[in-house]
Amino acid sequence: MVSLIERLPSLGGNYLDIGCQAGHLIRAIRNRFDKCAGIDIGNYGRWWEKIENAEFYIHDMDKDRLPFTDESFDVVTSFMTLEHLFDVFGAVEEIARVIKPGKYAIVETPNAAYIKHIIGLLRGNVPRTGAQQYPFSREKGWDGQHLHYFTLRELIRLCRQFGLIPISHTSRGRYAWLRKFYPSLLYASIAITFRKV
Give, rounded to a whole angstrom, the gap between the first and last alpha carbons of the chain: 23
Q: What is the model's pLDDT at position 99? A: 97
Domain presence at residue 135: no
Q: What is the DSSP letter of 90?
A: H
Q: How many domains does the structure of the chain reveal?
A: 1
Domain presence at residue 63: yes
Provide the residue range defining the domain that includes 159.
Answer: 2-112+148-196
Is 32 or 137 the better-scoring residue by pLDDT?
A: 32
* Side chain identity at residue 57, one-letter code: Y
Domain presence at residue 75: yes
With bands split at pLDDT 50, 70 and 90, how would you rate the model's confidence at 179?
confident
- State pLDDT tens for residues 58-109: 999 999 999 999 999 999 999 999 999 999 999 999 999 999 999 999 999 9
Domain presence at residue 36: yes
Q: What is the model's pLDDT at position 129? A: 87
Quick one: which of 73, 57, 100, 78 has its CA closest to 15?
73
DSSP-derived pairing of the beta strands 35-40 and 54-58: parallel
Q: Considering only CA atoms, give the Rg of the chain.
A: 17
d(CA 124, CA 119): 9
* 30 in Cβ contact with 53 (< 8 Å): yes
Peptide bond into 135 cis (omega under 30): yes
147: left (phi over 0), alpha (psi -120 to 50) or beta: alpha
- pLDDT of 1 strictly over 80: no
Quick one: which of 132, 151, 131 has its CA closest to 143?
131
Domain presence at residue 126: no
| CATH code of the domain covering residue 107 | 3.40.50.150
- pLDDT of 9 strictly over 90: no
Residues listed for the chain = 197
Domain presence at residue 72: yes
- State pLDDT tens for residues 111-164: 999 999 999 999 998 888 887 777 888 887 888 889 999 999 999 999 999 999
Domain presence at residue 184: yes
Q: What is the model's pLDDT at position 66? A: 96
C-alpha pair distances (Å), 181 with each of 115, 127, 170, 186: 13, 22, 11, 8
